Amino acid sequence: MITVLVTGANGFVGTHALKSLMKTRNIRLIAACRNRLKITPEFEGEVRQGDLRDDDYLATLLDDVDVVCNAMAWTSLWGNIKNSHDLYYEPTIRLINKTVEKKIDRFINISTTSAAAPDTSSDPMSEGIPRSYWPHLCNVIKIENYMRQMQANHTAMINMRLGIFAGEHYALGIIPILLPRLKTHLVPWVAGGKTGLPVIDGRDIGEAMKCACVAGELTGYQSFNIVGCEVPTVREVIKYIHDEFNYPQPHFSVPFFLAYPFAWLMEKMDPIVPWEPLVTRSIIHLLEEVNANNQRAEQMLGYKPSYHWRDAVRLQLGEMQQKQLRPMKMAKPIV
């Protein structure tokens, strides 16, 4: 019997991780979040409610825990330098330090397949490439690097570079950000939409997190790309959304070397317009080729995805039509 604590247990990754771990034998499961009322109703186990920025809460949060599955991830696709540091980077570093201090067996972190894109993202053990235009990605990479520094300790540091989120309980991601922009008919294909978009169903993310919790001997720093059964192209995803949900498709295409300066111009216009930029360099970056596959995760974690990207997109758009009344902002709410 091992005890697994899932932080961010009411978020997208946390919810799917809980659901997968609940089906797994010989696990005592603890959910950690700021609002227990938002945890999936199927979960009936122990809840440790609080804020990771609270010293008193953090002091006892990890008591009697063997594995920390850190699904807490405030995120932003645009600006928010201070918020990313205060609400994401600093709490995560403090959690890592407390995990090591308490000699917990394993710390599991969530990252992105785009951390080292496009140069070396096919290798999940490669170092991330900071991008000055995306402060939050820089913090994601700084956390990966800090985990590398801490790998000599008792605690195994496991980094999960996840693909593009899709599916039920959806969260901030490229799909809900792009869709209202497609309606403007101003967003082009980038490189003809021929690059891969590693869409992954939340249920497969939950399975991957479970595998990382229960896999055999893992030591030091280990990082894995986690994607779905098949990686479609951007064009395939947008065409499916067009065919099934009647969203417009782009009417023209630009290469990456023009897309980035165009996005830069949109960012520069932000102070003088009342809406968020039509497109940002972070969005263009997410459209870069990552060439990610599950080979290492399958070999070392036993991870095998089960859900097709079309199912994930269909479920997400169905949920969006019910719940999302206005375009999603490019940062999570500040609470």
Mean pLDDT of 314-333: 70
Q: What is the pLDDT of residue 52?
A: 96
Which residues does 115 contact at the CB level (< 8 Å), separation at least 6? 121, 128, 129, 137, 140, 141, 144, 161
Per-residue pLDDT tens for 88-145? 999 999 999 999 999 999 999 999 999 999 999 999 999 999 999 999 999 999 999 9
Range from 155-159, 204-208, 306-310, 327-331 carrying the lowest mean pLDDT: 327-331
Q: Is the pLDDT reported for residue 335 higher than 50? A: no
More confident residue, 167 or 329: 167
Q: Is the pLDDT reported for residue 325 higher than 70? A: no
Q: What is the pLDDT of residue 326?
A: 62
CA distance 69 to 54: 19
Q: What is the pLDDT of residue 79?
A: 85
DSSP secondary structure letter of residue 86: I
3-state secondary structure of 15: helix
Residues facing 32 on adjacent strands = 7, 48
Domains of the chain: 2-170+199-228+291-307 (3.40.50.720)
Q: What is the pLDDT of residue 324?
A: 63
The pLDDT mean for the chain works out to 93
Mean pLDDT of 189-212: 98
Buried b (16+ CB within 10 A) or exposed e, 227-250: bbeebbbbbbbbebbeeeeebeeb
Q: Is the pLDDT reported for residue 194 higher than 50? A: yes
Per-residue pLDDT tens for 252-273? 999 999 999 999 999 999 888 7
Mean pLDDT of 5-32: 96
Q: Is the pLDDT reported for residue 328 higher than 60? A: no
Amino acid found at 228: G
Residue that is written with structure tokens 């098949």 in the block: 230
More confident residue, 100 or 333: 100
* Banded pLDDT at 234 (limits 50, 70, 90): very high
Q: Is the pLDDT reported for residue 334 higher than 50? A: no
Mean pLDDT of 184-213: 97
Q: Is the pLDDT reported for residue 241 higher than 80? A: yes
